[in-house]
Amino acid sequence: MATHVHSQPRYTKRLMIRPFKRRDVAAMHEAVKASIDDLQPWLPWAEGYDRGVAQRFIRESVGAWSEGRAFDFTIRAIDDPNRHIGNVSVWPTSQQNSIGEVGYWIRSDETGKGFGAEATTRAMQIGFEELDLHKVQLRIAVGNVASDRIAEKLGFVMEGTLRDEVRIGARWLDHTVWSMLEREWWTQRDRHRAEGTIS
Ligand SMILES: CC(C)(COP(=O)(O)OP(=O)(O)OC[C@H]1O[C@@H](n2cnc3c(N)ncnc32)[C@H](O)[C@@H]1OP(=O)(O)O)[C@@H](O)C(=O)NCCC(=O)NCCS
């Protein structure tokens, strides 16, 4: 598998995804603050989120990208590129077995428009076509039905459940693990192209 990807923006029908720049702190912080009630139940990093956390995330993200540890993208609408819509990431978890993982969130006032699925489709394309992954995984907390729906829409297969995988405050959450194999991606990719989501 490849260990690095280029840092130019990628496009979908409606979205641009690009690596973070230091100047994105304020836009991302604003988006998280405006979405905190929907993020906190599922994502441990949302607890105690402030500008300092946003700053550290972006600093870490720039470093992780240059070292090939993770590729985090800010999601922007092509027709409103200054507004942070959410994050999507793809990162290798096993070089030996060419396995990676994807993750995402969408700001609350932009959900329900298909942006989560659209941005994640593009991140999957990076995983399979730029990083040459054999398998891409996705972990979803049990009960997160909107995220389950993204996995289903994208054609992921559920592999099983990990018990007490993440602690959110005093609560332990089980996670389901979903995956797509490279040979399955090529079928999905033809569908996404036919629908015009990606080129
Ligand atoms: C999960 C999340 C990314 C979805 O983003 P989105 O842009 O709304 O996603 P999409 O519009 O592509 O798809 C969401 C799907 O879930 C469905 N959905 C949303 N809420 C639902 C609910 N309560 N019950 C059933 N389906 C639901 C939508 O109808 C849509 O399906 P459809 O296209 O078949 O109508 C967003 O809500 C989010 O960021 N949540 C908080 C953080 C998070 O959970 N991140 C993922 C961690 S694995």
Question: What's the confidence (pLDDT) of residue 162?
Answer: 98
112 lines ligand 1 (CB under 6 A): yes
Q: What is the pLDDT along the chain (199 residues), one digit of tens a residue?
A: 999 999 999 999 999 999 999 999 999 999 999 999 999 999 999 999 999 999 999 999 999 999 999 999 999 999 999 999 999 999 999 999 999 999 999 999 999 999 999 999 999 999 999 999 999 999 999 999 999 999 999 999 999 999 999 999 999 999 999 999 999 999 999 999 999 999 8
Determine the atom of ligand 1 nearest the C-alpha atom of 116.
7
145 lines ligand 1 (CB under 6 A): yes
Q: What is the pTM of this model?
A: 0.98
Residue with tokens 């996705």: 138
What DSSP string runs through 78-99? TTBTTS--EEEEEEEEETTTTE
Question: What's the confidence (pLDDT) of residue 67?
Answer: 98
Beta carbons within 10 angstroms of residue 56's beta carbon: 11
Domain parsing of the chain, residue ranges: 10-194
Q: Which fold has domain 10-194?
A: Aminopeptidase (3.40.630)
Which residue's alpha carbon is nearest to atom 17 within ligand 1? 146
